[in-house]
Amino acid sequence: MKKLIIVFVFLLLACSQENRENAKDEQPKVNDPADWIFLNGSYSWGEALNACPAGYHLPDKFEWENYIVRTADIPNYKYWTSSYHVGYMKEYSVAYVQDRKIYSEFAYDGRKSVACKKDEKIEAKSFLDKVAFTGTAYVSKNKTDCLKGRKYIGFEDNGLYLCENRTLKKVADSLEFLQDSVEFSADTVVLNLRRMLPCSFGMNGKKIMTGFNRYMYQCDDNNWHGLGYVKLNPVQLGDYKDSLTGVHFKTIIIDSMEWSSQNIYRSMPGEECYGNKKMHCENHGRLYGEKARDACPADWRLPRRSDWVTLFGRFGLNGAYLRSKDDWFLDFKENKDVGFTIYPAGYVDNGYKGFGMITGWWSYDDENRLYAILFDGEKFSHDYAVENKKFYIRCVRKRPEN
């Protein structure tokens, strides 16, 4: 009898330990915010699309970014997302978080973790245009897992598909826009796209503007709705005298910010004229190395990424309102320079390059890193590989009070 009691106690303790281990396995991987849940296990893409419980959805890129901003406990796992990619790699996006930054991979196969974001209540809105012409994600006809009632962009043909009974039914041909934009900021700018970006969950309520015709759209309930054409408010032109050099340069006041509408012409160690010709300095400003951050006059500074994004949001990314009407090698038929007047003045990279075709300026990104903004007459891009290169400078300051 005594032996039986000992065995019973041993089994009871063993079961208790096993239950504790199982309970531990069932705990979420992170401390979930109230509107997020993290599922145990790993999932294929098709399983992930349908894994979230009612009232939740697979989060997109923008929702992941907001999660990182407001959450201290960050998961270091790879998760399926309902994100997207415009370009040659149009595969399902896998988001993962490392060192409080979000990264993406693109893959059809494999098994990943699943996080679910709570649906937000969508208030009824009135739109001028009821036509819906984009979807929540790229999808391949060979991968027919999808969410009932959702629209998708076809991987093979960029057509618009509707999900019915977990199969895809084509409802519209592909839409062609001008060109792919290099960078996109929700609720500010604007696109020169071959295709509209998907109106995914994190984009709900956001507004974008197409750069080539300044038409405004708003994302609502996973569909883009037209709001009408945006009017271009007049800008104010000005003049500033550099107290150190006595040189005057032209400025342009855009909303609350004042920009130099000419490249800075200020002598500093290491600066130079394009082609080592003084006339290029006089016409287009000087080229500076990485000490450029010290070249702006007092009360002025190098532009930040947010300054450029605001500028793009005002005028679009196609450059017609910002580029000069002269000196470009390409014959741009549409030129509407408002006074920002970008000339294709080239840059330095183991020699003088790009005159007539491209130009670039020093700037700061959101983490205060120095990098270059480039413009080829049609679109803007950025470059972090700036070691031993030289670019021009546009300075910016908050609009002075009158």
**pLDDT, tens digit, 9 for 90 and up, residues 299-308:** 899 999 888 8
The residue with tokens 């080539």 is: 212
Residue 319 has pLDDT above 80, yes or no: no
Contacts 24+ apart (CB under 8 A), 33-38: 33/67, 33/70, 33/71, 34/118, 35/117, 35/118, 36/67, 36/115, 36/116, 36/117, 36/118, 37/115, 37/116, 38/75, 38/113, 38/114, 38/115, 38/116
DSSP 325-366: SSS-SS--S-----S--B--EEEEESSEEEETT-EEEEEE-T
Same domain? 179 vs 262: no
| Residue 29: pLDDT band with limits 50, 70, 90 | very low
What are residue 336's phi and psi, to 5 degrees? Answer: -135, 45
Same domain? 244 vs 360: yes
- In this structure, the strands spanning 151-154 and 138-139 are parallel
Asked if 292 and 285 touch (Cβ cutoff 8 Å), the reply is no
Asked if 330 and 317 touch (Cβ cutoff 8 Å), the reply is no
**Residues whose CB is less than 8 angstroms from the CB of residue 329 and which lie 6 or more positions away in sequence, other chains included:** 344, 356, 357
Nearest-CA neighbor of 263 among 245, 285, 242?
Answer: 285
Same domain? 95 vs 143: no
Type of residue found at 394: R
H/E run at residue 69:
helix 61-70
- In this predicted model, what pLDDT tens digit does every residue of 340-385 receive, in sequence order? 999 999 999 999 999 999 999 999 987 788 999 998 887 788 888 8
Residue 158 region, left (φ>0) first, then alpha (ψ -120 to 50), else beta? left
Asked if 347 and 287 touch (Cβ cutoff 8 Å), the reply is yes
- In this predicted model, what pLDDT tens digit does every residue of 191-247 receive, in sequence order? 555 556 677 788 888 877 776 566 778 888 777 777 777 776 778 999 998 887 788
Give the structural domain span for 283: 236-398
Domain boundary, last residue among 229, 259, 291:
229
Asked if 284 and 345 touch (Cβ cutoff 8 Å), the reply is yes
Residue 27 belongs to a domain: no
pLDDT above 90 coverage of the chain, percent: 23
Report CA-CA distances (Å) from 136 to 132, 169, 361.
12, 15, 36
Domain boundary, last residue among 203, 229, 255:
229
Same domain? 276 vs 143: no
Domain boundary, last residue among 163, 197, 229:
229
- Look up residue 1 and give its two tokens: 């009898």
- Look up residue 309 and give its two tokens: 């994004």
- The pLDDT of residue 318 is 61
pTM: 0.59
C-beta neighbour count of 363 within 10 angstroms? 23
- Look up residue 151 and give its two tokens: 């629209």
Residue 60 belongs to a domain: yes
Burial of 202 (C-beta count, 10 Å sphere; 0-12/13-18/19+): buried
Bridge partners (DSSP) listed for residue 104:
95
Which segments within 27-150 are labelled E, that is strand?
A: 36-43, 56-57, 78-80, 93-98, 101-106, 112-118, 138-139
How far is 176 from 194, CA to CA, in rounded Å? Answer: 5
What's the DSSP call for residue 195? S
Nearest-CA neighbor of 105 among 121, 89, 117, 119?
Answer: 89
Type of residue found at 179: Q
- The pLDDT of residue 74 is 75
Same domain? 290 vs 363: yes
Least confident of 89-103, 106-120, 281-295: 89-103
Type of residue found at 357: M
- In this predicted model, what pLDDT tens digit does every residue of 130-177 receive, in sequence order? 544 444 455 555 666 777 777 776 666 667 778 888 788 887 765 544
- The pLDDT of residue 21 is 39
Residue 1 belongs to a domain: no
- The pLDDT of residue 156 is 67
Same domain? 146 vs 261: no
- The pLDDT of residue 162 is 80
How far is 339 from 28, CA to CA, in rounded Å? Answer: 55
Asked if 312 and 190 touch (Cβ cutoff 8 Å), the reply is yes
Number of domains in the chain: 3
Q: CA end-to-end span of the chain, whole Å?
A: 97
Tell me what the mean pLDDT of segment 12-25 comes to. 40
Residue 248 belongs to a domain: yes
How far is 267 from 65, CA to CA, in rounded Å? Answer: 42
Residue 189 has pLDDT above 70, yes or no: no
